[in-house]
Structure 1
Amino acid sequence: LADRYERLASIVFHVKLGTLKDKMERVKAIALYLSSIVDPSAALKLERLIPLMKTDLVTHMVGEFPELQGTMGRIYAGLEGEDADVARAIEEHYLPTGGNGGLPDSSIGAIAAIADKMDSIVSFFSVGINPTGNLDPYALRRQSLGIIKIAIERALHLPLQALLEKAYEAGLLIQKRLPFEEARNSVTEFITTRFKFSMLEEGHNQDFVESVLPCVAADIYDGHMRLVSLETQKSMEDFKRLMVGFRRVYNITKQITDAMTVDPSVLVLDEEKELFSLYSAKKDIFLNHMKKRDYDNALAVLVGFKETIDNFFDKVFVMDKDETIKANRLALLTYIRDMFLTFADFSKIHFE
């Protein structure tokens, strides 16, 4: 198989994206970067795997029976005495082959699968070739869904934006590309949309899914973890009431983008003092849960604000005629808003 690697230079991957060998050079850069983040111990085997991954495409067997791609690579690699993990990953990197298909079992298979799919998505998008309507000739939707499923199933925290940048950098030889920002934004929206549809098909609450999409844009699995925590609150009355209170907080403060500071000496009413006191007591506890990705307990801290927020709005008139008092109350509400938005975009969640 290794002797056939150079022959990939004779196979055009796409007229705008070079040969299959060009693609594999890009995949190697992405895979090694990804390995450095999620499994540094996989790097050596990935170095061996990448040049072998597609070489069965130039064998007579796969030429005659294309459906055997990957499978024949695994068999040939085994016969040639390659490492068992490397041989298996040659077949695994194509997975999943369908919406509910199997996923790679090995770490190097998962990394190679993600790198291969990410290269295809970013490369095609960078030259303006995107799926439209029912047309998706390069199966980019399926490949995006594959990345999502592998990340979730294997609990991989992929830094999506950095990964997109690495994939774009790996394609420096591609001519007439879109600017990086434009390509990155398009791919981010594409992947988060695939996540949304996938989660809805699994039966997740649509508002909850919408609320975690900004998190998914940073880390697919992390966004999924937050979604799972939100689902535990779906039928909880306290959470529903909390969302009503948060909506009032959000609507009052959504136009405020500048940082504001609360002056405790300007707090007048007991209810605003209590809200500030609760925030001061719970903020670091909440952030510590978030840092540890202990989202169930982080969410429990937020739910604990329900009664205090309700009392605040029952007794406190935010838009006081005294501008200093008004500004201080708005500042307090921005504290609450920003803490909540650290978890998810709760403004997307509505209960009838």
Structure 2
Amino acid sequence: MTKNYLLEIGLEEMPAHVVTNSINQLAQKTAKFLKDNRISFSEIDKYSTPRRLAIIVKDMDEKQKDIDIKAKGPSKKIAQDADGNWTKAAQGFARGQGMTADDIFFEELKGVEYAYIQKHETGKDVADVLKDITEVITSLTFPTRMRWANFDFEYIRPIHWLVSLLDSQEVPIKILDVDSGRMTRGHRFLGEDVEIDNVRDYVDDLRGQFVLVDAKERKDLISSQIETIAQDNDWVVDVDPDLLEEVNNLVEYPTTFHGKFDRKYLEIPEEVLITSMKDNQRYFYVRNKSGELEPDFISVRNGNSEHLENVIQGNEKVLVARLEDADFFFKEDQSKTIQDYVNKLKTVNFHVKIGTMYEKMQRVHQISDHLATLFGLSDQERKDLLRASDIYKFDLVTSMVDEFPELQGVMGEKYASIMGETNGVAKAVREHYMPISAEGDLPSTKVGATLAIANKLDSLITFYAVGLIPSGSNDPYALRRQAYGIVRILDDNNWSMNLNDLQDFIAANLKVPDNLNLSEHSDELIQFMIDRVRQLLNTTSIKNDIIDAVTSGSNIDPVAMVDTAKVLQSHSADLEFKAVIEALGRVVNLAQKAGFKYSDELKMDDSLFENPSEKSLNEKVAAIYTSQPDSAEKLYDRLAALKESINSYFEENMIMDKDEKIKNNRLTQLVITNHLIAKLGDLSKIVVK
């Protein structure tokens, strides 16, 4: 006969953003706990509100499964002395297994006899096993933790009650000074405490106390109520799933309502209105059928519909106060010029070790000018880019962004347009932040994309220059996200950018304070960028060995690495691919063992050639150098065509010839050939079968 188990952790209100993750953790860790303790079950139902995390484990075994264990101990020569008596090691091994030395027997393992004990372990009742469920409760992790009373224990919020029931039987557990029972708490204002007689009554008993513990039921109810309000008012509501999730985790008994504000506030940019409603007040904004924002909002109350008019009026009053502030800031900000704000940035630190935001913009101007040439921007695009680079941070010191930091860039675009900047400049001011998350939207314009790269490059280079380098999970300045953003933008625009050449230009031309050594960590920064290329390639179906190869070659142009990976992947199914990689790989392996590296001055002496294959390979490699293939596909095709010549070369020639001059000449030939191959990557890392 199976049993059902209820565990409920009652807490002070948790932050909405931790509820879903916490209940998922509780279910996952409980499943592992039961599996580790040999308890089978059919499923775990999850229930959560801001004040509780609860699970019901269904169809549990009544007891642990019995098991037979053969425990391995010390070798026979350690377990017994010369006279065959049990040693202390053997006796200790037996005691550790709850047995005596007389229970020991020997078996051979890999030619050595070892002591073993065979024992039968009878499973415990499930109720006895569940008394240790506190291990699971205390193991949950949270982004923030707190202590309370005089306890050293930390948790997301103080624990106030525990329910631990196996069907109708209490399973006593205790955390700190809180003992479990069958008493749970209803809605903070509408409900009362209620005893749970049986696990199967849990959901309905709390429903009677104005608590809907099923998060999906609450979410579906909120969505349905929003849809009804929208239909009744002929509105269109784009229900943001993240906002819905957050609101759902703020309430135990949802009642949806709608309020309004004066139409005059629609003169404020809609991004400000939406931020005020959505981000600050957790309201859903509404539009009419034409897509225009309406002076109305929808919100969710944690309670029933009684006295709802008072709730609506209170929410309207709070929103209007914020909109009044926004309206004032919007008008006040326009009383100054962009140059006024730019001058203010001279006193705003970008970072105390690096300098001001104004100085950052000056550096970004220089980088942008270089990138405009590199990326082939038109004259107008360059003009817009350089103007944008001179002002793009100005909105940081506006009153609106001070009040609504999440609108940085957004308000910059609005104000730039209002104050007479071109569309290209205004859009770039907004797009330079993009992408704002690892997989966020990318800039839609070349000017915005170039400014975004220049801004992120400056941050990377200057933070590395002062030793503020990400390590492990520590990345307080989001440099990984910024570097990954650069790689994604380059890939999106198919822009080539050799990382070495760029670093050399920046180190030689950027005007920085004396304390910034832009070359000090250049190798580390390049590897950091290559790791982001690897990150991008890992989101594709390209094989890991190909990714390893292209990110270990001599070509440190992110787009070239991505293109090369695609080319190698596309050819990996070719019948000749294995033979090509093996031939090129032989060159790579020997070239890597040479005591010297490629340089432009490296030359061969063809008078030392002894076999036709040496001359043949030399001529074909020279032809590739002369033609300079302009794509990874063309380079691969030209190198693949060397397969027969390379095989003949190795058949006819002893590379490590006794004659030092001949040996070095052949190694030089391989190093020169490998310099071409390395543009594809380190092909020795590719696994071919």
Provide the TM-score with structure 2 as the length reference.
Answer: 0.46
SS in 1 for 2:519: helix
The superposition leaves residues 97-136 of structure 1 with CA deviations (integer Å, 9 ceiling, x where unpaired) of: 1122111121211111011101111111100101111111
Within 2, Cα distance between the matches of 1:322 and 1:104? 60
Partner of 1:72: 411
- Does the CA-based 8 Å contact 2:555-2:678 persist in structure 1? no
Partners of 2:355 and 2:555 lie apart in 1 by 29
2:391 is aligned with 1:52? yes
Whether the aligned pair in 2 keeps the contact of 1:144 and 1:194 (CA below 8 Å) is: yes
Report matched runs for 1:284-299 at 5 Å. 284-285=623-624, 287-290=626-629, 293-299=630-636
Percent identity between matched residues is: 32
Q: Paired residue for 1:172?
A: 512
Q: 1:315 to 1:10 in 2, by over 3 A?
A: closer
C-alpha deviation, 1:40, in angstroms: 5.5
Give the residue type in structure 1 aligned to 2:510.
Answer: A
- Counterpart in 2 of 1:304? 641
Say whether 1:252 aligns with 2:595: no
* Inter-CA distance 233–50: structure 2 relative to 1 (3 Å threshold): same
Task: State which of 338, 342, 357 in structure 2 corresponds to 1:20.
Answer: 357
Distance in 2, matches of 1:226 and 1:190, equals 19
In the TM superposition, residue 207 of structure 1 has moved relative to its aligned partner by 3.0
CA distance change for structure 1 residues 77 and 194 in 2, over 3 Å: closer, same or farther? same
Report the counterpart of residue 424 of structure 2 in structure 1. Answer: 85
Kept in 2, the 8 Å contact 1:5–1:52? The answer is: yes
Alignment CA distance shift 1:262-1:337 (3 Å): farther
Distance 1:287 1:28 in 2: 37
Q: Secondary structure at the match of 1:232?
A: helix
CA distance in 2, matches of 1:216, 1:114: 23
**Which residue number in structure 1 is paired with residue 453 of structure 2?**
114
Corresponding residue SS for 2:406: helix
Contact map agreement 1:119 1:167 (CA 8 A) in 2 = no
Q: Which 10-residue stretch deviates more, 244-253 or 12-21?
A: 244-253
CA gap 1:96/1:261 in 2 versus in 1, 3 angstroms:
same
1:78 counterpart SS class: helix
Residue 211 of structure 1 is matched in structure 2 by 549
Distance, in Å, in 1 between the alignment partners of 2:390 and 2:653 is 67
- Secondary structure of the 2:350 match is strand
| C-alpha distance in 2 between matches for 1:265 and 1:16 | 58
Offset from partner CA, 1:266-321 (integer Å, 9 cap, x none): 434xxxx246325414641464252xx13212211211222343344456544455
Give 3-state SS (helix, strand or coil) of 1:145's partner.
helix
AA aligned to 1:149 is R
CA distance in structure 2 between the aligned counterparts of 1:227 and 1:122, rounded to whole angstroms: 27
Match of 2:678, SS state, is helix
* Paired letter, 2:574: M
SS in 2 for 1:97: coil
Q: Evaluate the alpha carbon distance shift between residue 74 and residue 282 of structure 1 in structure 2; reply closer, same or farther with a 3 A threshold.
A: same
**Which of 657, 674, 684 matches 1:337?**
674
| 1:263 maps to amino acid | D
- After superposing the two structures, state which structure 1 stretch, 18-27 or 158-167, moved more: 158-167
Assess if the C-alpha contact under 8 Å between 2:396 and 2:408 holds in 1: yes
Instruction: Provide the C-alpha distance between the structure 1 equivalents of 2:419 and 2:463, rounded to a whole number of angstroms.
Output: 34
Q: Which has the higher contact order (CA 8 A, sep 6+)?
A: 1
> Contact conserved, 2:494 with 2:559, CA < 8 A, in 1?
yes
Q: Work out the CA distance in 1 between the residues paired with 2:395 and 2:666.
A: 67
- How far residue 81 of structure 1 moved from its aligned partner, in angstroms, is 2.8
Name structure 2 gaps, 5 residues minimum: 1-337
Secondary structure (helix, strand or coil) at the match of 1:181 reads coil
Asked if residue 134 in structure 1 is aligned to residue 473 in structure 2, the reply is: yes
Q: One-letter code of the match for 2:523?
A: N
Corresponding letter in the other structure for 1:4:
Y
Contact 2:409 2:433 in 1 (8 A): yes
- Give the alignment partner of residue 493 of structure 2, picking from 138, 154, 168: 154
CA contact (8 A) 2:580 2:640 kept: yes
Moved more, 227-236 or 208-217: 208-217
Decide whether the 8 Å contact of 2:388 with 2:429 is kept in 1: yes
Q: Which residue of 1 aligns with 2:435?
A: 96
Q: Give 1:10 shift.
A: 2.7
Higher CA-based Rg = 2
In the alignment of these two chains, the number of paired residues is 344
**What's the RMSD between the two structures over aligned residues?**
2.7
Cα 1:333–1:189 change in 2 (3 A) is closer
1:185 is aligned, of 507, 517, 523, to 523
Contact 2:594–2:667, Cα closer than 8 Å, also in 1: no
**What 5-or-longer segments of structure 1 have no aligned partner?**
none
**Higher strand fraction (1 or 2):** 2
- Structure 1 CA distance for aligned equivalents of residues 532 and 370 of structure 2: 24
More helix by share: 1
Q: Verify: 1:32 aligned to 2:369, yes or no.
A: yes
Contact 1:282 1:301 (C-alpha < 8 Å) held by counterparts? no
Q: CA deviation at 1:235?
A: 2.1
Counterpart of 1:124 in structure 2 is 463
Tell me, in whole angstroms, the C-alpha distance in 2 between the residues paired with 1:159 and 1:142: 20
Letter of the 1:125 counterpart: Y
Question: 2:538, 2:577 → 1: CA distance?
Answer: 21
- Given that residues 92 and 104 in structure 1 are in contact (C-alpha distance below 8 angstroms), is that contact kept between their aligned partners in structure 2? yes
Q: CA separation in 2, counterparts of 1:40 and 1:322? A: 58
Does the aligned pair in 2 maintain the 1:114–1:147 contact within 8 Å?
A: yes
Structure 1 counterpart of 2:637, one-letter code: A
- The residue type equivalent to 1:187 in the other structure is L
Q: What's the counterpart of residue 276 of structure 1?
A: 615
Give the secondary-structure state (helix, strand or coil) at the position aligned to 1:13.
strand
Match in the other structure for 1:267: 610
Q: Counterpart in 2 of 1:240?
A: 578
For the 8 Å contact 1:16–1:127, the answer to whether it is kept is yes
| Change in CA separation of 1:283 and 1:79 when aligned onto 2, cut-off 3 Å | same
